[in-house]
Amino acid sequence: LANLPEDELGQGYEYLIKKFADDAGHTAAEFYTNRTVVHLMTEILQPQPGESIYDPTCGSGSLLLKVAAEAGRHLTLEGQEMDVTTAGLARMNMILHDFPTANIASGGEGTLVKPRFLDDREQLRTYDYVVANPPFSDKAWSTGLTLGESGSGDKYQRFTWGVPPKKQGDYAYLLHIVRSMKGTGKAACILPHGVLFRGSAEAIIREQLVRSGYLKGIVGLP
């Protein structure tokens, strides 16, 4: 490790992860986020040393690592990944990039059903920064959750603005992110363009999001 420049090590590891994804028949996005997109998100967040960052669907950890690197390495890193194998890739990634204390939780029903990072009151732990590239339009996001129309049934109070459609989980992850932010926290999330115009329950949540003041900007990418 001492003889290999970090950027070359990171590029090599990212290449191997993509090969792993291709060989397994998955899209590479399941394991890591495009580095240029990660850089853009980091520039928007402007992370500062000594603060905390969380990724609820961390994949192989590339988002966490890039943001931490921009802040000069002095950040508390925590992430959750449902797939045990992918979580193992994330842990290796943290060690190879000299973040051995990063906390990666894995297994179980996933972040929306069983979040692993909770505070003393058994509520969602909050962070200075939250970054995420959740699975687009996740059709199984509500499996294991029992929710009323007003969002009742969720002890973490994430769905007070409304319950996303069962076959489109994009806003479910976004609402989890909002609840995971500190009062002064910032978040950057990658979502499909459909969240900007789809109707029904998503339109109600979208209006609440805009009126809340949380939303500072949208960047459309090809």
Longest dimension (CA), the chain: 57
Angle subtended at Cα 84 by Cα 38 and Cα 31, rounded to the nearest 5 degrees? 25
| pTM beyond 0.85 | yes
One digit per residue, the tens of pLDDT, for the chain of length 222 reads: 566 665 676 667 777 776 766 665 555 556 667 778 888 999 999 988 889 999 999 988 888 988 888 777 778 999 999 989 889 988 988 888 888 899 999 877 889 999 999 999 999 999 999 999 999 999 999 888 888 777 788 999 999 999 999 999 999 999 999 999 999 999 999 999 999 999 889 999 999 999 999 999 999 988
Sheet strands (E) in 15-124: 51-55, 75-81, 103-106
Contact present, 131 and 64 (Cβ < 8 Å): yes
